[in-house]
Structure 1
Amino acid sequence: MSDQVEVVVAHHDCATLRVGEVFLKIDADQNRTDVEVEAMAMAPIPTPQVLWRKPPVLALAALPGTALGRLGEPSSASSAAWGAAGAMVRKLHDAPMPPWPGASLDERTTDLDHECTWLLANDVLPAELVTRNREIAEAALRPWTPVFVHGDLQVAHVFVDGDQITGVVDWSEAGRGDAMFDLAILTLGHPEHLADVVAGYGGDLDLDVIRGWWSLRSLTAIRWLIEHGFDPFEPGCEVDVLRSHL
């Protein structure tokens, strides 16, 4: 095993370290870890093996392969791999739901309104940019039939080996939610692969709803990212996603 410790991600809420083929997730909120462990046990798709748990640390085995992509960077994965990701998400959404709830429509709407107010009051973004994307986000704010969602299905959380999905990580936001939310987070910043994902997922999907979630996710993430030391203004990231909708 390597004697090097790699900091995968670290902020005020939690940190993830990698030592060789083991990931160590440190989280002071054990409720999040409870959700992660239970969701991985329920999910009908590949997930990391839980090696051991000693609060506040959860040890997971590394998944084979590499991430499907990164926000702000072009993805080197094939169209077939993106399609396989869509099929994997469909399998998750068709599975029995976890017993705990996810964010409600009212909670999503309130959160969006609060974040838009903050963005404008602090001159973080131009009013035109916030207003236009708030209008686009309205397409996502409609009643949905809940399914088993990952809840934070960033492209970096999906691992592939060639055209095959080897697993999905970071399940602490899993619960009941809108299927289109997962598809939107997976394709955020990678609109060129939306058609591949939709083809793999199957069905007649409303792409305006997915675009609405792109705007909503970006608007509501910016303050958190800034406060935790990340830069949503980097090329291809959240602010660029918002600008692409003008």
Structure 2
Amino acid sequence: MPHTHVVTTQGELVTKRYVSCPRDEHLREWSALQAIHRHSPDLAPTPISLDLSGPVLVMSRVAGRPLAGSLTAAELDGLAAALGRLWALPTDDLPPVGLQPIPELLARVRADITSYCGGGIVGEAFGAAAIWLGGSEVDSLLMPGTPVIGHGDPNLANYLWDGSRVRIVDFEDSGVSDLSFELANLVEHLAGRGTDWSGFADRFPVDQLRLLTARRLWAMFWLTLLRPGGPAESRNPPGTGALQSERVLGLLRQGSAGPRGGEGRRGC
């Protein structure tokens, strides 16, 4: 992904200068911060100004350290509280989420899964994923869900913990999304693999079947990145692709026998 901005901090102000805005990141962040500030002003940075000629966005500084690794019970509580507040806010006519909206993600994963040829546990996972993607269950994600303000990039580093609460930063890919889709994106994000998410979804009024479907899709997305020769393979420890394959197969087994085997691969 191209570098989109440069951040500088002076006192209590943070200035974000956008050097690339292919998805109107500056407008997305400004609109989201304004919407959040109207209804929950201490949840995210306060928007101060937006200079479209830069574009340059100025906002308040938020104290705290980025979440990372295996989250403690207190950090999980803080994260759940922050997300609960965010997802309860009105969407205020925001645009659809900018990074990987559901139709775009589904089309991308289908294309990448069905074009892969390989063996071993990775090939098995790709084959099972191809079978599942050829069914009708995944298309249920295209039906309307519970609309929420979606962050768009739930890397744990975008949630700041000050010792007692979590606040949220970096809304440049934000927009209207779906509760199940956003929650699935969080728990399946590679940054959160050190955390036990058991029971976390139970804190939200989410449709469990829709959540499982979205989790499977996001897990397959990461599999396409982590496969041998994939764009993220070299940036992760050896064996990460195999572990992701096991994760995909495990999610496919939940709630059903789940497809397995390589007979679903296409294009080989």
Q: Which runs of 5+ in 1 are unaligned?
A: 1-10
Task: Assess if the C-alpha contact under 8 Å between 1:87 and 1:200 holds in 2.
Answer: no
Distance 1:187 1:50, change over 3 A: same
Residue type matched to 1:245 in 2? V
Q: Give me the whole-angstrom Cα distance separating, in 2, the residues matched to 1:15 and 1:231.
A: 24
Output aligned runs, 1:70-219, within 5 Å. 74-75=69-70, 77-99=71-93, 100-102=95-97, 105-117=102-114, 120=116, 126-134=122-130, 141-142=139-140, 143-148=143-148, 149-165=150-166, 167-188=167-188, 189=190, 190=192, 192-195=195-198, 197-201=200-204, 205-206=208-209, 208-219=212-223
Structure (1/2) with the larger strand percentage: 1
Q: Give me the whole-angstrom Cα distance separating, in 2, the residues matched to 1:35 and 1:171.
A: 7
Q: Give me the whole-angstrom Cα distance separating, in 1, the residues matched to 2:184 and 2:107.
A: 20
Q: Aligned residue for 1:56?
A: 55
Q: Deviation string for 1:209-244 (max 9, x for gaps)?
A: 353143144146669xx76x8955346977743443
SS in 2 for 1:47: coil
Q: Give me the whole-angstrom Cα distance separating, in 1, the residues matched to 2:207 and 2:127.
A: 29
Q: Give me the whole-angstrom Cα distance separating, in 2, the residues matched to 1:53 and 1:204.
A: 38
Distance 1:216 1:20, change over 3 A: farther
Matching residue within 5, 26, 46 for 1:33: 26
Q: Give me the whole-angstrom Cα distance separating, in 1, the residues matched to 2:152 and 2:87.
A: 11
1:233 aligns with 2:244: no
TM-score by length of 1: 0.71
Shift in Å at residue 203 of structure 1?
Answer: 5.7
1:12 aligns with 2:2: yes
RMSD: 3.6
Q: Larger Cα Rg: Structure 1 or Structure 2?
A: 2
TM-score by length of 2: 0.66
Task: Assess if the C-alpha contact under 8 Å between 2:113 and 2:129 holds in 1.
Answer: no
SS in 2 for 1:16: strand
